[in-house]
A and B are shown apart, each in its own frame.
Chain A
Amino acid sequence: MFFKKSIMAGTGLFLSIFLIVHLSANCLLLLPESMARELYNAYSTILRESIVITIVAYLLYLSIILHVVYAAIVTYKNYKASPDRYMMNHTNETSSWSSQNMGLLGVFILLFIVIHMANFWARIKLGLGDGVGFDAAGNLDVYEVTYSLFQNIYFVVFYSIMMIPLGLHLNHALKSAFKTLGFYHKKGLRVLAKISLVYAVVIAVGFGIIPLIVYLK
């Protein structure tokens, strides 16, 4: 139980750090178009060609898989631990909805990741679907992939709305991961709760608002 939970906490924290890096890169999309295209494409080329980043990328895939697999196992075991449900249950009064529904939120996030990877990863890395051109500097024009996707209002809405479950998941996840790994300083936990909230809001709003801005550009 401790092992599984620690794996989930560890992979979760790793993914949380990745999100910060990912979001800061996305901020490049907010620059004026020519500058954005150049920097964004250059950045993504560096990432693709770096051995270190390649290793990190495989660690990311592994983390996602482990996080999901162990979540499934823990959820199943927890279900077995309380198979009979209460006829009347008001435990929502005692803890937040998101903390009680991390699994459900996780399913939404997983769904999002699949679509997100189909949109980008599959096209850029696997070369599936429409081909990707090059920009003036000779870098693969990843910016164009992004830009064209967010001209479609359905994708914009989908990307923005899916950041809500992500934010809820992260808010509970970040502070809980630390507790699972044994951080128990009482004052520290109160500070941590605030940091989690700020982190979750920044990530969710940040990721959620960029497609809208790109759409309106």
Chain B
Amino acid sequence: MKLDSKIPEGRLEDKWSNYQLKSRLINPANKKKLNVIVVGAGLAGSGAAATLAELGYDVQCFCYQDSARRAHSVAAQGGMNAAKNYQHDGDSVFRMFYDALKGGDFRSREANTYRLAELSAPLIDHYVQQGVPFAREYGGVLINRSFGGVQVERTFYARGQTGQQLVLAAYSQLYKMVRAKKVKMMVRHEMLDLVLIDGKAKGIIARDLVTGQIKRFAADAVVLATGGYSRVFRLSTLAIGCNGSAIWKAHKRGAYFAAPSFTQIHPTALPQTSDSQSKLTLMSESLRNDGRIWVPKDKNDTRNGNDIPEEERDYYLERRYPSFGNLAPRDISSRAAKERIDAGHGVGNLKNAVYLDFKHAIERFGRDVIEDRYGNLFSMYKKITGIDAYKEPMKISPAAHFSMGGLWVDYELMTTIPGLYAIGECNYADHGANRLGANSLLQASIDGYFILPNTINNYLEDALKQDHPGVDHPEFDKVEKEVKSQIEKIMAVKGSRTVDDFHRELGKVMWQECAMSRNKQGLERAIVQIKQIHAEFWKEVRVTGTDNEMNSELEKALRLADFIELSLLMCTDALQRDESCGAHFREEYQTEEGEAVRNDEDFAYVSAWEYNAGDFILHKEKLEFEYVQPSVRSYK
């Protein structure tokens, strides 16, 4: 199948308006006859479900949590970018577009990334109107702050809880439409498979997580808004329930998976302290404004951080990147930390962390100033570690964070399966090989509120004229049977190892070979190991309880089974990309100083993988750059 990105005609700045002018419309009376399923109720899902319902469609919205307000978009702390140029500092839509494209190391479509920047300004208007209490000046206007990778102040924020406040706005709009009886909210329901009829997405099979019942849901289109899959590493900044099952099932039913190996590793999370740890908590990137990162020069130094004299410390970011120093971009900082840790200079019990030291900042500005800037982060650090970071350096460590990769989508956010859309983090669209800070809330929101509700008409207009097959269609029987048999199969293994045990094993392999830096041998080794884990999993996993009750072990097992398969594709993708770009760093492709070497000649494409009975077929969507010439990212 040829990949058609459906980029509209016209100049870059006219493409989206041209698209809207030409797209088809459906009259309100007819919209009532159409039914859309939205899977996921985070920023993208809630926004899409609420807006589609406002437009008149009947919507069924699903989430695995007990309420739509829990979706992991809540965890974003820093803020959301928008090209409002309120600060009069030379910002513009084009500059924002350029920053995102360059930040992504020129591995995304110009038209998509431009639209991201273009729709950012109306999105701020929209959220303000919905009651998001963004930070304000005394005079009542909105405040901005700066964020990594850019030179202007364009980030809007609501204390350290921007994500949560945006989710609450979206969730409240969703429930407004529940009250209007236009959205049916299905909480504690997890999508387990996609149903295609004549090659088109026409419904899903979901499991009721309370009763264990397998249920069918039919619709005229299906929208996936299921977030990122970095839990494949087990230890990540994601919520424990985050998973890749919905997109993986869609992939197996025919949706191409784009750039699965592009995973952002965040440099400032709290380190792992033991094997039983479940989660790595993110500390805001803003700490790097005043904190200095270092490791002991001596590998075997077991002294406390404070006892190590200046001359025996290696401030490696300042040493390697003198002009950006501690504020080097996320991917570069993470890799530099990994390099030091791998060389044996890590600190902490497991020697897996580096110091983030505020001693100098406190000496220079005084404790009060530091407390004013980061007080909440320091108290959170103390809550989790029990350590007072005003007195001792923090220990931080890189952690898996964001999935740039996801289902391949065209300009309309439709996957390669007609009628199946992917929005928010679960698609691959705007961020290229590395996402800039404060762009993820933005992308999820505009996908859900602004883009999808415009583009989906184009497809539904046709669907209107066709049959609306119900859940009694034989395809539903068939898929439901497959889902049930997978559950039976997993319950029947009755092996000797827990799901978490397998997840830890998989996570270690993926973290070692397919995270911050990769190489051919490592990836090939990982593929062998993952296949072994796969085989072992289906022989030795043990799920207790039954499948017709609330059973967290079964939920985890089903998700892990998909993660194992997905991790194979991630390694396969990383292996084929013989270059270093953005978050994807192949050790074979670096300069003598250890900097990434991108290869635009051979790899200026989006890899889009087709599933073929356990194997993967690569398709390439060539990226054309008409308005921006790809340049080398240098932070020296």
Direct contact of A and B (CB under 8 A): no
